[in-house]
Copies of this chain bind each other. A is one copy, B any other.
């Protein structure tokens, strides 16, 4: 593969793409952040995140579980109770995410400003 940049990883097949596929969606990171506060039940997550549909929350949680980032604990009681929590792997991802979160917090104003400055070609 060609040496197009100074990184050690190959850009063609690098695992970054797979990981971005996971955290790139709208909800995974929010779920991880919420679970950082400790174990949460399904509806606690839903209320905590606020504007996620149960549809997407369920799908997101299932994928995170499949990827070994969160655990799902089902209590066979009625009404059912399900607890979600971070695995060590999930926690480590969250830690790797923190600089990005900090950057977002610090730079969203700059991005907003850049968009305002940007002049689009005047649409007809």
Contact, CB under 8 Å: A68 / B114: yes
Copies of this chain in its oligomeric complex: 2
> Taking the complex as formed, is A43 at the interface, i.e. its CB lies under 8 A from any CB of chain B?
no
Q: Determine if A30 and B11 form an interchain contact, defined as CB atoms under 8 angstroms apart.
A: yes
**B residues near A65, Cβ cutoff 8 Å:** 118
- List 17 A-B pairs, Cβ < 8 Å: A4-B34, A5-B34, A6-B37, A7-B36, A11-B34, A11-B50, A14-B104, A14-B105, A15-B105, A16-B101, A16-B104, A20-B24, A23-B100, A24-B26, A68-B117, A89-B111, A96-B103
> Which chain B residue has the least Cβ–Cβ distance from A32?
B5
A9 at interface, CB cutoff 8 A: yes
Interface bits A13-49 vs B (CB < 8 Å: 1, else 0): 0111111111111100110011011000000100111
Q: Are B114 and A67 in contact (CB under 8 A)?
A: yes
- A contact face: mostly helix, strand, loop, or mixed: helix
Interface residues of A, CB < 8 Å — how many?
A: 60
Task: Say how far A44's CB is from chain B's closest CB, in angstroms.
Answer: 8
- With A67-B114, A99-B99, A115-B67: A16-B29 Cβ-Cβ less than 8 Å: yes
